[in-house]
Amino acid sequence: MAPVQAEPDVPIHLPQQALAGPRACRVLAWALAVGWGAWGTCLAGPSGPVASRDGLLAGYAAISKRPDARLAGRPLYLQSDEADGVLRGEVYAVLDQPFEAVRQALSLPAPWCEVLILHLNVKSCQPSGEPGGSVQLEVGLGRKFEEPLERAHALRLGFQLAVSRPDRLQVLLQAPQGPLGSHDFRIELDAMPLAADRALLRLTYSYGMSRVARWAMQAYLATLGRDKRGFSVVGRDPQGQPLRIDGLRGVLERNAVRYYLAVDVYMGTREVPSERRLEQRLQGWFAATEAYEQLHEVERDAYLSMKRKETQRLGVRPGL
């Protein structure tokens, strides 16, 4: 989602009367811009721990027949929907990585922090919990600019390895409550082998919103965020050019793609020598997002400077 220049020093849980006026709309827009979510609508193919391999394949087969669902330049397909107060997006992609490498890497919580920290609004991420017990990702959320870590808002994402076997991987990141009236946050990765050196992935991302949160977000999107667009084509202009989805679904789609690109870049840099890995990862994610005008938010040097500092304070060496 496209973050905005709002001061993130407002408490996470606000009374409804606090969600009024332009500044509150901007703060809410920032909070939801970070992009954590809940699930469940009628998109292609079932989702959740009970979804079968056949369901994953069927979903991919269905969406890959829709030219309007493919993003330019990649074997990457996107769809989104909204129903019963829940926004949901799905990204299907063929990853040029052996499935077993994907399974080994993303079955653990720590690599997910290395994925999430690439996002503009994720300021910190650390796994917590005891071996054999529940595991969480302690995430700090903030603006798209540099800021002290103490100003970040905390979000605890439960980590669940739902399925991990030689022919299937399913990982859930979820939280029941989120910033400023959002709820039922969930990110789900579902993967299976396609060939010896390729894996099929589906990344699902969604969240619910209270009525007041929805009103505030829509107010932002009608003013400061009115030029923001997603990817789905909803019509054509008089010259025949595609008209892209805007509003809440546009916000959702932008972040769904950002998070998938983070997974892709993470997997593609695992074999890079350790002293150069993080730097290549940061540059790779920024370049991947800049391929889509909808995802542009900051300039390259600003992003790299910010992320080098954020990873350094987590004890990660940025590399050369």
Complete domains list, the chain, with CATH: 16-312 (3.30.530.20)
- State which of 15-19, 95-99, 225-229 shows the largest mean pLDDT: 95-99
Beta strands, E only, 14-134: 76-83, 86-95, 122-129
Is residue 270 pLDDT above 90, yes or no? Answer: yes
User: Which range is least confidently modeled, 12-21, 84-93, 133-142, 169-178?
Assistant: 12-21
CA distances for 268 relative to 174, 217, 279, angstroms: 25, 35, 13
The mean pLDDT of 29-50, rounded to a whole number, is 42
- Match 């690599």 to its residue by tokens: 111
- The predicted pLDDT at position 280 comes to 97
**pTM of the predicted model over 0.95:** no
- Please write the tens of the pLDDT for every residue from 90-146: 999 999 999 999 999 999 999 999 999 999 999 999 999 877 778 999 999 888 888
Residue among 108, 103, 214 at smallest CA distance from 166: 103
Residue among 189, 186, 138 at smallest CA distance from 161: 189
Is residue 320 pLDDT above 80, yes or no? Answer: no
Is residue 27 pLDDT above 90, yes or no? Answer: no
- The predicted pLDDT at position 220 comes to 61
CB 94 within 8 A of CB 75: yes
pLDDT category, 225, cuts 50, 70, 90?
low
Q: Who contacts 45 (Cβ-Cβ below 8 Å, separation ≥6)?
A: 51, 55, 56, 58, 59, 60, 62, 90, 202
CB 77 within 8 A of CB 61: no
- State which of 20-24, 192-196, 298-302, 313-317 shows the largest mean pLDDT: 298-302
- The predicted pLDDT at position 26 comes to 45
Averaged pLDDT of the chain: 79
Is residue 295 pLDDT above 70, yes or no? Answer: yes
